[in-house]
A and B are shown apart, each in its own frame.
Chain A
Amino acid sequence: MGLTHKLKIPPVYITVALLVVVGLAFYLGNPNFLTPYNLNTIISFSAILLMVALGQMCTILVGGIDLSVGGLVSFISVAFILLIKPIGYWAYPACILMGVLAGYTNGLILTRIKIPSFIATLGTGGILTSLAYLVSPRPVNLSPDSYQVVDTVVNGSLLGVSNVLYIGLAVFLLFFAILRFTSTGRNIFYIGSNIKMSWMSGINITRTRNIAFMLSGLGAALVGITMSSIRYGGDPVVGTAYVLNSIAAVVVGGTALTGGTGGVVNTLFGAIFMSMLDNGMNVVGIDQYLQQAILGIMVIIGVTLTFDRTKTPIVK
């Protein structure tokens, strides 16, 4: 039984409650957990995870999934650094465009060749990971004379707040607006809710699904850019963790993997939860080898609490 169903409270509140409980536990384990410095770290990581998770959420809302985000983040991460040298600031739009195109490719494989997104993105994810290695087999550093390009955008700050947060906020507002105030956003929900009804009602399913995957590509590209900027270098393995973390953030927030229900606010808290967990386990000094297990357990607990399984007879 999903707790949300029994008590009739939206999943978001459960996620927030979980956030508070786990946060408190970390605080009791190590009071340093709640220092401004550490909170700032958590929020920065949340902002980055949020960008890729919001894109992931769109694909999950239309009833699909995007497993290629990891490969895309890695690829963009190295491509961005390599592109700064020849084209300077143009590396930003170029990388964003590549990300969206990669997402569009995923969409086309799903909607035109009609291969389930799970398999399609598993394939493109592999291709992108290989591309990242082919472009740069080893981590590549930004030459110091180009530092300015990343310092003015991602690494800068305004009113004492890091630009990463502003970027995260902008992405959040963008996704919020798309999902709440555009027909495409609404169609994403209709399709995830009932694809047969959507088809019978004349909704352009191909186009909407393509857009959902393009949004996912956009989110992943932004994360690739941000990660490389912070580290002043690209790394062909940097994206690996984002596949599972983005899905976990979406699902812990209360978006059902079956699609149709959920939203940006859910994913916001899901992303904060996942980042806090990651950080908190290090702060209270949990054994590195144990961390993955605890992360896994927390995801399962989170989904048990937020996901209403009473109306879903078969879970796949």
Chain B
Amino acid sequence: MVFQEGSLVPNLSVTENLFLCHEAEFRRVGILSLRPMRAAARELLAQMKLHSIDVDLPVAEISSAERQMVEIARLLWLSRLYGQENPVLILDEPTTVLADSERETLFEILHELKKRASIIFISHRIQEVLENCDRIVVLKDGKNVTEMPAAESRLLKIEQLMVGHSFAVDRFHQDEEWKQSEKEILRVENLSKAGLFQPLTFTVREGEIVSLIGLVGSGKEALCRCVAGLEKADTGAVILDGRKLPSGSPSAAVRAGIGHIPIDRRSEGLALMMSVAENVNLLVLNRLKTAGFLSPAREKKNAQHWIAECQIKTPSSGTLCANLSGGNQQKTVISKWLSSRVRLLILDHPTRGVDVGAKDELYKIIRRLAKEGIGMLMMCDTLEEDIGLANRMLIMKDGRLVKELASSPRQKPSPQDIISLIV
């Protein structure tokens, strides 16, 4: 298996990575012999027509394409070691990190390898799948939707299959419409981060839900991190309520009123071993003081207010967050930001790992917040969620803002429209 992120040890050399954990094969009288190891490494790479890689370089110093080749070479060697005649290689999104020319080389090698091995190729770039694969399997929501020879398929057909016909807007449908103010809360101007996203400009208005849509790696995550101050942008400005925020300072962003609901609430959103009350009150401790000291009574009152407001199901405000369900943990994170009178919320996959019932409650909370005037920048788990919740959509692809779509309650774009824009 070749993973999307790569599984080599960056500070070890190519040779060492190739034979990692199997160095015993090169033992001479109990001592590791480096010369045959290097020779074997060269031979292995030569088989794949890779003569340019220096086997003594640390993996961190070779290109990402070369790294991928090294991983494939390692797998081939391992399968030979264990006497596998026709190994199955699984390549998970191997082309996302590659430049165009590197991609060509990869496919050349893969075609060559077909004689010796079977390959499972996972990719979201449908064009390259069509061009290079023999058979295509489309998966959706964990189910095998269809299987067909590549020669018979068309791009459009696959896109449709990926979305599914059973698409239902109802569950996410907005039953109520609210008047959005024209007042702009957030303005992002020419913000860019090298290698992640190109300079882009957009705004979020009061009470507006803006969805950022794009594939993993389209730059939307990095964009949100820059807006929240978690990463320093290279150029451009984040302007909240007319004031420019310093780049790369989460505390300045928080003070200005930018809240961030992280994708991984357990590691980034909550103090799990602390109580619900302590988590909800985190940002407003200064408002819960009497004569300069925290007042337990006022703390409890504030916590209980938000527990009721967001319908957090917890035995008491003193319960540890670790003991709550995913949905209630998420509501706790949201409460934390709401109690601080946040202006703009960044919602990073707010319904990730939350059961269906709690999801609906979260949708309701999100809509109510919008009605109260909080602007939101959102990334969702599914397109349907984006379509249902958003007022406006920003489509990102390869680090660029490619399209802006209105998504008013009566005129929602279809998932097919969006898919064709993002891939």
Contacts and interface: CB of A to CB of B under 8 A. Distances in A.
Contact of A200 (B262, B273, B278, B293): B262
Interface in A200-259: 200-204
B271 A203 contact: no
Given A180-B294, A183-B285, A200 B271 contact: no
Nearest to A256: B273
A260 B294 contact: no
Interface in A156-197: 177, 180-183, 186, 189-190, 193-194, 196-197
Interface string B397-410: 00000000000000
B87 interface: no
A193 B273 contact: yes
Nearest to B251: A202
Nearest to A204: B251
Nearest to A184: B285
What DSSP secondary structure best describes chain A's contact surface? helix
B129 interface: no
Contacts of A194: 267-268, 270-272
Nearest to B322: A311
Interface centre among A193, A199, A200, A260 (most CB of B within 10 A): A200
A186 B254 contact: no
Contacts of B336: 201
Contacts of A183: 285-286, 289, 294
Nearest to A200: B250
B269 A197 contact: yes
Nearest to B289: A183
A194 B268 CA distance: 7
Interface string B248-287: 0011111100001010000111111110001000110110
Contacts of B90: none
B228 A190 contact: no
A147 B159 CA distance: 90
Contact of A190 (B252, B254, B282): B282
A131 B206 CA distance: 61
Given A189-B274, A190-B274, A194-B271, A199 B250 contact: yes
B230 interface: yes
A261 interface: yes
Contact of B228 (A177, A181, A197, A200): A200
Interface centre among B253, B271, B286 (most CB of A within 10 A): B271
Contact of B255 (A181, A199, A202, A311): A202
Contacts of A260: 271, 273-274
Contacts of B251: 202-204
A189 B270 CA distance: 12
A261 B273 contact: yes
Nearest to B265: A197
B232 to A, nearest CB: 14
Given A181-B293, A196-B267, A201 B282 contact: yes
B269 to A, nearest CB: 6
A193 B274 contact: yes
Contacts of B283: 201-202
Contact of A186 (B250, B268, B278): B278
Interface of B: 228, 230, 250-255, 260, 262, 267-274, 278, 282-283, 285-286, 289, 293-294, 322, 336
Given A193-B272, A200-B230, 13 more contacts: A180-B294, A183-B289, A189-B274, A189-B278, A190-B282, A193-B274, A196-B267, A197-B268, A197-B270, A200-B228, A200-B260, A200-B268, A201-B336
